[in-house]
Amino acid sequence: LLYTIKFEDMVLSLFYVTLIVDFGLQIVFGILSILLKTEKFYDFIGALTHISCAFLGVFYNWNTSKEFSFEPKLIQAICISVWAGKLGAFLFYRVIKSGGDSRFDDAKKNPVKLMVYWILQGMWVYLNILPSLFMWTTDDKANTLVYVSIIGWVLFFFGIVFETVSDYQKTVFRNNPDNKGRFITTGLWSISRHPNYFGEIVLWFGLFISAAPYFNSPWSFFSVLCPLGTALQICFLSGIPLLEKSGLVRWGQDEEYREYLATVSVLVPWCRCCECYTAPERVPITTPAKEEGYRSTDEDNLVEDTKSQ
């Protein structure tokens, strides 16, 4: 059925088809989540949706012509799938190990709110793949500009390695009983307070750069707002600000932590020119137990979740 659509309508159709697949999966599994009153497969479905839409984007507009730039588009889809598979497996393992996800404690009691979470995940997936969709919907060969794509894929590789290593270091640190109640300052965490978020931002800008040589409309370049939106969300909304506040509540009275804040960049390694969160002189000397909203368990505090929704 997909191949019966006329080629001139293909670009518009691919955007619609991926949209239907994306939100179709969220609605179906959202309903199942409501019926079973569980969120345990939420992140797994998010990863599966990324992978499904990525390979749909590649093969939906497949052409056997030698002039068709198939290989770069396949590489782009593989990059997205590697990232999604890594993140999905990591988060799924964590939710199974912990027995649940505290983000959904209230939502599981409210079917409408739980479904909103699923719809938001659909929006998140679509925005992540939007620059690549513009790449997948063109049959033009990029020629020499393919080197720009290579630069983007190098940035993606750097970003995902940086993110993966930092996540691994944090996991090893947290699994050591001797570190209970302590904050990590070793490895990549010695040069950035949120290295996994730094890797996340870099990899998405890398995928935008790798897709850009294949854009066939000036409007396509506005999709830079997608990785930019991810960066802004991490830096100013649901990512770093919440974790910085949680860290202050927990260790704000700790001189070692205050020194960590004073010497280590919040995001970009070795770069403190854009510090906008926690100046040491503003760190409150407070008793954590008296702070409203303080949660004493180690798992509930400072979980560096690379999925920033």
Question: 162-179, pLDDT tens digit by residue?
Answer: 999 999 999 899 889 998
Q: By the 8 A CB rule, do 131 and 171 touch?
A: no
87 neighbors 306 (Cβ within 8 angstroms): yes
Q: Are 286 and 292 in contact (CB under 8 A)?
A: no
Nearest to 203 by CA among 86, 110, 90: 86
Cβ burial of 5 (10 Å; 0-12, 13-18, 19+) is middle
pLDDT band at residue 9 under the 50/70/90 scheme: very low
Other residues' Cβ atoms within 10 Å of the Cβ of residue 100: 13
Q: What is the mean pLDDT of the chain?
A: 81
Judged by phi (left if over 0) then psi (alpha if -120 to 50, else beta), residue 99 lies in left
Pair 85, 163: CB distance under 8 Å: no
- The pLDDT value recorded for residue 61 is 63
User: Comparing 284 with 38, which gets the higher pLDDT?
Assistant: 38
Rounded mean pLDDT, 50-77 = 78
127-144: average pLDDT: 80
pLDDT beyond 80 at 295: no
At 13-63, the pLDDT tens digits run 888 899 999 999 999 999 999 998 888 889 999 999 999 999 998 887 665
How far is the C-alpha of 102 from the C-alpha of 193, rounded, in Å? 23
Note whether 103 and 40 are within 8 A (CB).
Answer: no
Tokens of 248: 């202050």
Up-side HSE of residue 233: CA atoms within 13 Å toward CB? 17
Q: Are 191 and 268 in contact (CB under 8 A)?
A: no
CA 44/CA 65 separation, integer angstroms: 36
